[in-house]
Structures are given as C-alpha cells and as structure tokens.
Amino acid sequence: MQTLIEAYRSFLPVPADARVISISEGGTPLIPLTSISLRDRGIAVYAKCEGMNPTGSFKDRGMTVAVTMSLWSGAKAIICASTGNTSASAAAYAARAGIQAFVVIPDGQIAQGKLAQAMMHGAKVIQISGDFDDGMAIVKSLADETGIALVNSVNPHRLAGQKTAAFEIVDALGNAPDYHFLPVGNAGNISAYWLGYNEYLEAGRSNQRPRMIGCQASGAAPFVLGNPVERPETVATAIRIGRPQSWDLARTAQKESQGWFLAFSDEEILSAQRDVAERDGIFCEPASAVCLAGVRESIDTGVIPDDSVIVCTLTGHGLKDPATAIAQSPAPTRVRADVAEVRAIISAD
Ligand code: F0G
C-alpha cells in the first residue's frame, strides 16, 4: 500500500533517500453527516473522520513526516508535550522507527486511551504537575539543550504532514469546500489545513479556498477572547490549551479565509458528541465534537447560505476517552441472567 508520504511526495519536504516511517496513516473517509445536512436548503455537511488513523487521531499525518525527517537528520530520540494524542502518535512512530520517545503530559488531565497508547508503545511518560502550556515551555527548552528532536507542531514537518488532509478532501470532493470547521487547541491543525488548501489552489487542483472556522471550548478559548488564557479548563482535555503555539499562523488562516472563531460550553460539546454518535453512528472524542456544535450554530444563526458545502474535521476517535462517554450516558440496565427478565426490559422499551 502507498504511504501518505508517497501519495503526496511532491508537496512534502521528504528527500528521496529518507527511510519512511509509516503505519499506514491518512486516506481517512469523508462521510456525509445526515444529522446536520439540510437537503431542502442544499447544505451538505461532511465529516473527515481522522479517528480512523492508526493511532486514532489526525496527529499521525504529521508524525509520519516529523519522525521520518527526525530520523533522516540523525535524531536518536524525540520529545513532545501533549494533551494526549500527540503523545500516543509520537510513541507509536518512535516505536516503528526504533528510537525513544519522551512525552510530557499534564498530570491526571489526559484521557485514558491516550495514556494507554503512550505506555504500550514504550514511550517514557513524564507527568508534570502543570498543564499543556507548562509542558510546552519545558520541552522547547529541553529540545534546544539536548538536541532531541521536538515533534510538537512548532516543528514545520508536522504541519507539512497534516496539510495532506486538505488535499484528500479536495481530491474527494473535486474542489475545496465552502466552509471548513475544526477544533482549535495548539492551533497547528488549522494552520496546516490552510497551507494545504493554498498549495492545492496554486497547483490548480481546486479553484477556491474555504472559510476556516476554528472552534474552541469556552474555558480554553484564547482565539475568541483575543488573548492567552491562564489555567484553561474544559471536559475536552485534548484542547485544554491557553497559549497556542501557532497563534500567528492560525490568525492568518482565519483572516485570509474570512473565517471566524467560536467557543462552546462543555455541555454543548458533550451534546454534539452524543448527537453525532446517536444519529450518524460516528463516535468522536469531545474535542472533535466542538466543531459540530460550531456547524450547527452557524447554520441556525443564518450565516451559512443555501447550497453550501461544509467539511468538519473529527480529529480523534471516541474510544480515546471512554470515561467521559460513560459518565454522560445512562447506566446499563442490570438484570439477572434470565430470559424472562431480559424479555421484560425489551418489551418495556
Ligand atoms: N482535536 C484533538 C482530538 C486533539 O488531540 C487536538 C490537539 C486538537 C483537536 C487541536 O489541534 O492543537 O492542532 O489545534 N491535541 C494536541 C495533543 C495538543 O497534544 O495531542 P491543534
């Protein structure tokens, strides 16, 4: 099978002699969302389901390029700060490359599935008594000091890999969508998509660029507020970030595309997550669902004209965070192992 790097090699900085580190990332489905699309108004909404990547999030697109390039330039180890998904992906790609990953995570603030991944892939997991922004400051200074390759999205190879999601969307739709909604935390992904849409336009593969709409959690919404947030808080731990590293790039994406930023409460985020799970059969993590809340609000408030094509990125799989899913769901019905008791439940429904 072709790797992501092979599929888009002419758009990527990977030299021909580099050993490509791949776990078959990319090529994720673009699925129509029947729960939000409005047929009578011609509004079509698609989800780019990035939870289908090998470690269950979009990070793998960036990590294949970042780890390939780190190895090519002689790195023996990689390091990152993470709210969970970057650490899972870095751990997996480092394992595949045969090098060590060091991952710095906020104590008690990452979803269980992500922690399990980092541990299983053999990363050295370092929990700090601080948040992601503290971790970011630490790994930046340590990477400078030790020469260990930094694989957070401040590494341009991460953005180069992640822009391929925009290529795939244009390849699937035959053009860029009118609007692209996505969750924003450290702001690397919105910057990467904008890069991708621009490069495809320049290459003549599309004839428009979408408006970029960045969605944040109300307790961690620096772009909506216009300034960094101290001690961000949200149930969507993946985007619990107050000082986004790609601030300028993300602002440029929003301004150049004439897009906007939105923020949603934890309640709205969880309700959007449940809605797409119950009505479209797609289980995404809370951070991903924030962009569905964004699409719905933007349609409801009338800012989306009829006949628009909308894409939203569901950045990570719901199985990453089973605890949050179970906590917001009704408890299973408990009965004895008895036909009559189970039948009684079924007939009551
Ligand atoms: N969605 C999920 C599931 C994420 O894990 C992240 C970021 C984002 C959205 C936001 O993307 O940072 O490029 O704006 N997770 C990082 C991590 C910070 O450490 O896993 P962004």
**CB of 183 closer than 6 A to ligand 1?**
yes
Pocket test for ligand 1, best of 48, 85, 245, 269 (most atoms within 8 A of CB): 85
Ligand 1 mean position to 230 CA, how many Å?
A: 18
Above 90 in pLDDT, residue 37? no
Task: Tell me the C-alpha to C-alpha distance, in Å, between residue 249 and each of 77, 121, 191, 307.
Answer: 27, 32, 6, 29
pLDDT tier for residue 201 given thresholds of 50, 70 and 90: very high
Q: Does residue 184 have its Cβ closer than 6 Å to ligand 1?
A: yes
pLDDT at 153: 95
In degrees rounded to 5, what are phi and psi of residue 212? Answer: -100, 125
- Mean pLDDT, rounded, of the chain: 97
Phi, psi of 124 (to 5 degrees): -85, 110
State the Cα–Cα distance between residues 144 and 152, nearest whole angstrom: 13
Is a pLDDT exceeding 90 seen at residue 343? yes
Report pLDDT digits (tens) over 138-192: 999 999 899 899 999 999 999 999 999 999 999 999 999 999 999 999 999 999 9
In this predicted model, what pLDDT tens digit does every residue of 275-325 receive, in sequence order? 999 999 999 999 999 999 999 999 999 999 999 999 999 999 999 999 999
Residue 220, pLDDT above cutoff 90: yes
Q: pLDDT tens, 56-91?
A: 999 999 999 999 999 999 999 999 999 999 999 999
Q: How many percent of the chain have pLDDT more than 70?
A: 100
Residue 85 CA to ligand 1 centre (angstroms)? 7
Please state the pTM of the whole predicted model. Answer: 0.97
Probe residue for ligand 1, chosen from 315, 320, 324 as the CB with the greatest number of ligand atoms within 8 Å: 315
